Structure 1
């Protein structure tokens, strides 16, 4: 993300890239959400990714089921990613300006001497203060702040999307017979209707379900971006660092998302379970994340914490790869347009 484009343009390119990637893999998103929501069931009763997709495709209304909630999810993706990239790039540029105004002096001043004598150099640049980019800790803090701002604002829309994705889930209604009358009649709800229904049922707290696990999950975008930058530096020759080939950009973006997702996935599961609104009665009691993790493990073992992981990884592999690719291409197009305009003016 170290480009010279203004934050608004970087945010726009990132949001559009995320929306395109999300639309391509949305059926996988629906299947993954349903798998995560059924983590309450014993392991032998849960469907894997292939069977979940087959179950969705076997229904007469499979098109509407496969894309249920896509309006809310697209809006959430655009809003969340625009705010994230805008906040991230603004803070990053702010830190860079601060470093420019407060340069770091070299730890060991180099005395001027003839080149080659004693292995010392007489280059003036080596004895001047250094202007640095944000260090890893600063990058991490910038990512956390950006994630809190973006997810905090878009969380109600994300909650609506989860509710719409699990509507008419036959596996869930088998688990809870009372759920059919509650959810099946709501399959035609619009985004606004769903918003009102959640607010009427649970109040403002229901709209912000899953906020607690969202806080540590704000590490995910920054970890993904940091991993992506690290992979580029480690794998590619220096001449390709600024403009990697399209295929490499896709693959490294997808790989970085997978590497960042795996350690944080149990929090993704807890967030979806909180947003589903299916816990009733005693299960609706407020409990912390740690207690929720313990309950899930007691119910089905450690492996239950990774219910739906395969769907999340496949979805993230395509979505993140497409996002980084589209973002890069939009930014390159803007740079070329500005360059062409500059040449036309000077001609």
Structure 2
């Protein structure tokens, strides 16, 4: 995201876009989570029959909040740090920095955003899987949100809200690599004014390719680390 807009405007537009995309794909994400967490007796058809279609939006409020916060913080920190580096090097805002600078800025931004969103993401997973048993009565409301928070605190204390945060030190490379690949796409595929302000079609295609390549690279790193 290399724009001439102020960091706050970039952060606001980026977080709203991420929240919109998250809302559209949320049922698929929830189904995946339930399939991974549930036992063999649980099925999508059973969930619909027992709890209705609305159950596929359990925890969407918390998840949307986490997406807004993490995306806003990520884009704000990224835009702010990048502007400082670009200004210090005497370059234009749309200039492409060396790969070491781009990845470092993106990585620091990712760590900052995930430190805020991890507790909300943890609560979201609990809300998504709350209907896994027949005696659960997930309604996705504020009372259930507070109930999940109290349960996590009771079981694991305050640090329990950041359970698994250590994996974020690798996962935070994903947005950094993605943004760098998107800028590389702009540099190779676009010319003139389009490079500074990519058309919607190029933004979509370039973003999709960069995101896919970035996730593949980070997943391969995680697999190597686990081995």
- Shared fold (TM-score greater than 0.5)? yes
2:6 equivalent in structure 1: 6
- Whether 2:176 is the aligned partner of 1:222: answer yes
Q: Which residue of 2 aligns with 1:318?
A: none
1:55 to 45, 49, 71: 45
Kindly tell me: are residues 153 and 247 of structure 1, through their superposed partners in 2, closer, same or farther at Cα, counting changes over 3 Å?
A: same
Cross-structure match for 2:101? 138
**Contact 1:56–1:66 (8 Å) recurs in 2:** no
1:154 to 96, 117, 123: 117
Mapped to 2, the partners of 1:16 and 1:214 lie a distance apart of 23
Deviation at 1:221, TM superposition (A): 0.8
Give secondary structure in 2 for the equivalent of 1:4.
coil
Any idea what the Cα deviations from partners look like across 1:76-116, whole Å, max 9, x if unmatched?
A: 0000000000100110011112213xx9xxxxxxxxxxxxx
* Residue correspondences, number: 221
Q: Deviations over 1:304-336 (max 9, x none)?
A: xxxxxxxxxxxxxxxxxxxxxxxxxxxxxxxxx
Report the CA distance between 1:165 and its aligned residue: 1.2
1:245 is displaced (CA, Å) by: 2.6
2:74 match: 84
Partner of 2:21: 21
Task: Find the residue that maps to 2:49 and give its secondary structure.
Answer: coil
Find the residue that maps to 1:59 and give its secondary structure. helix
Contact 1:56–1:65 under 8 Å retained in 2: no
How far 1:146 moved relative to its partner?
Answer: 0.6
TM-fit CA distance, 1:56: 6.5
Taking a change above 3 Å as real, the CA distance of residues 209 and 266 of structure 1, as seen in their structure-2 partners, is farther
> Which stretch has the larger CA shift, 133-142 or 245-254?
245-254
Cα RMSD for the two superposed structures = 2.9
The correspondence for 1:75, drawn from 57, 65, 82, is 65
Once the two structures are TM-superposed, the CA of residue 261 in structure 1 deviates from its matched residue by 1.2
Q: Could you tell me how far 1:22 is from its partner in structure 2?
A: 0.5
Distance 2:48 2:136 in 1: 21
Report if aligned partners of 1:69, 1:164 keep a CA contact under 8 Å in 2. yes
The answer to whether the Cα contact below 8 Å between 1:156 and 1:207 also exists between their aligned partners in 2 is: yes
Q: 2 CA distance for matches of 1:194 and 1:97? A: 45
Question: In structure 2, what is the Cα distance between the partners aligned to 1:245 and 1:27?
Answer: 29
Q: CA deviation at 1:15?
A: 0.5
Q: Deviations over 1:173-221 (max 9, x none)?
A: xxxxxxx48xx43523532222122111111232111201111111111
For residues 154 and 55 of structure 1, the distance between their equivalents in structure 2, rounded to whole angstroms, comes to 31
More contact order relative to length (CA 8 Å, sep ≥ 6)? 1
**1:257 is matched with which residue?**
211
Point out the structure with max Rg over C-alpha.
1
Q: Distance in 2 between matches of 1:135 and 1:62?
A: 51
Q: TM-score, normalised by structure 2?
A: 0.85
In structure 2, how many angstroms separate the alpha carbons of the residues matched to 1:238 and 1:56?
55
Q: Does 1:185 align with 2:136?
A: yes
Residues 141/63 of structure 1: CA separation in 2 closer, same or farther (3 Å cut) = same
